[in-house]
Amino acid sequence: MPDMTMRQAAQWAGVTRATVQKAIVRGRLSATKDELGHYHINPAELERVYQPKQVDGSRDTGKSHPETAELTAARERELALMRELVTKAEERAAELAQDRDHWREQAEAQTRLLTHQQQQPASQTPLQEPQTLPTIAPHGIRGRLGRWLLRGRSL
């Protein structure tokens, strides 16, 4: 490749012409000067000092474009999978919240039933009147009459 002018070199490196000129003057970048006083820079020398600028404006990291494209595609697939996992987790959380609410309502209904039964007033609960036993005279009833009255009853 033929030598580049200072303007071409600056454009290729993604810097200003003044930056390229300062690098030449300070000795960081080698260049040849023609009879008109214009600098000519070898592209290999320019690449040694400056990494080539990408089309999108970022600096080249040394990886070729196919590797970068593969890496980007892999990260996009990973991102899509992560989003899918997040969506599934959110759906599961919503289902669990619905189940929780359903069981909470069931528990509250059962609690209401139990507390309602315990708090019923005595007038609403049917109670049997206690059976009164015949009173026996202090000396007891003797004979057939006493046995007949007390038959089937326990004291």
Say what the pTM is.
0.35
Say if residue 28 is in the same domain as residue 71: no
Q: CATH number of the domain that 26 lies in? A: 1.10.1660.10
Model confidence pLDDT, tens digit, residues 64-106: 566 778 888 888 999 999 999 999 999 999 999 999 999 999 9
Please give the tally of structural domains in the chain.
2
Indicate whether 25 belongs to any domain: yes
Indicate whether 57 belongs to any domain: no
Residue 139 pLDDT exceeds 80: no
Say if residue 88 is in the same domain as residue 109: yes
136: left (phi over 0), alpha (psi -120 to 50) or beta: beta
Say if residue 40 is in the same domain as residue 77: no
Model confidence pLDDT, tens digit, residues 15-52: 999 999 999 999 999 999 999 989 999 998 888 888 76
Which contacts of 109-112 are long-range, i.e. CB under 8 A and separated by 24 or more positions?
none
Say if residue 73 is in the same domain as residue 42: no
Expressed as residue numbers, the domain containing 74 is: 62-117
Say if residue 66 is in the same domain as residue 113: yes
In angstroms, the Cα distances linking 59 to 2, 65, 125 are 23, 12, 89
The position carrying tokens 């007033």 is 121
